[in-house]
Structure 1
Amino acid sequence: MGVLFDYFAAPDHDAAATTIDLDGGPAEASFPTVALKGLDPFVQLGTLESLLTGADYDTVIERDLAPVAMADDGARLVVALTEELSAGLSDADEARLREVAEPWSRTEEFGGQADPADLVAVLTELAELARTATTRGDRLYCWACV
């Protein structure tokens, strides 16, 4: 089984941290959630943030996605996503998401084999989640379980 990554919106770090021990992840706590098995918040979403915002990738990955909760020696983890990524997703319209999906699909992390149309669907879900977070005054987080 691969790593499970659930992206979700929560009001703050304390609320997000409560999901660490939930077998069903943040959805079990009724947080707005997008489940994306295998799409990591560090490298793949770092590349996405760079493409969406125009920020240099090295600058993006230097931003620390500090854990807000960790269990089982890191086998379960909750991290806050960057405000820059959240804003980039929230502000992106469908045309921008399609534009970003093409170069993102060709990155090394996808083995250069990802279907841009599939990534547009993923980006659309993430953008909707980011808009929900913005509307509610929430932040975006990732719950990871190995």
Structure 2
Amino acid sequence: MGNLYQYFRAPDDATALVTFAPGPAGIGLEPLDVSGMDPYLMLGAAEALLVGRLFEDVAAQPRFNHLLSDPDADSTWVVTLTDQLRDALAEASTERLAEVAVIWSRAEEFDGSGDPDSLAGFLEQLARIAREAREQRNGLYCWMSL
């Protein structure tokens, strides 16, 4: 099955951390469930493309994959995503997301052969959450289970 990632929005870090044991759906949040789409390498690469910056610059931001949960937890963690990513997704058109997905599909993380249509669909779903998050002044988060 692989690693499970649930991307979601929450009003603050404390609320996001409450998802640690039950997962986002367990406290009434509506997550985007995906397998194998990790927030660090894969989504970080997409963020760099969306905002036109180097991955290293994106990864240097304080809230880029900032761990909220116990670092010693066995197989479940909650991390923050950047407001920069939230805003870039919220502002991106469907066409822009499709353009990014084509370039992203060639990335090393996908062995140069990712499916642009699937990646565009993922970005569009995440953009919907990002729009809601920005409208509600929420942050974006990822709950992951290995």
Query: Shared fold by TM > 0.5?
Result: yes
4+ residue segments displaced more than 3 Å: none
What is the aligned partner in structure 2 of residue 55 from structure 1? 53
Segments of 5+ residues of structure 1 without an aligned counterpart are none
Whichever residue aligns with residue 125 of structure 2, its letter is: E
Q: State the 1:62 CA deviation.
A: 2.1
State the secondary structure of the residue aligned to 1:46: helix
Whole-Å separation in 1 of the counterparts to 2:74 and 2:125: 27
State the secondary structure of the residue aligned to 1:129: helix
CA deviations on 1:41-89 (whole Å, 9 max, x unpaired) are 0011111111000011111122342111137635210011011111111
Among 19, 29, 33, the residue aligned to 1:31: 29
State percent identity of aligned pairs: 39
What is the aligned length?
A: 144
What is the aligned partner in structure 2 of residue 90 from structure 1? 90
Q: Which moved more, 1:87-96 or 1:26-35?
A: 26-35
Segments of 5+ residues of structure 2 without an aligned counterpart are none
What is the aligned partner in structure 1 of residue 8 from structure 2? 8
8 A Cα contact 1:105 1:116, kept in partner: yes
TM-score by length of 2: 0.93
**RMSD of aligned Cα (Å):** 1.3
Whole-Å separation in 2 of the counterparts to 1:84 and 1:139: 10
Question: Does 2:44 match 1:46?
Answer: yes
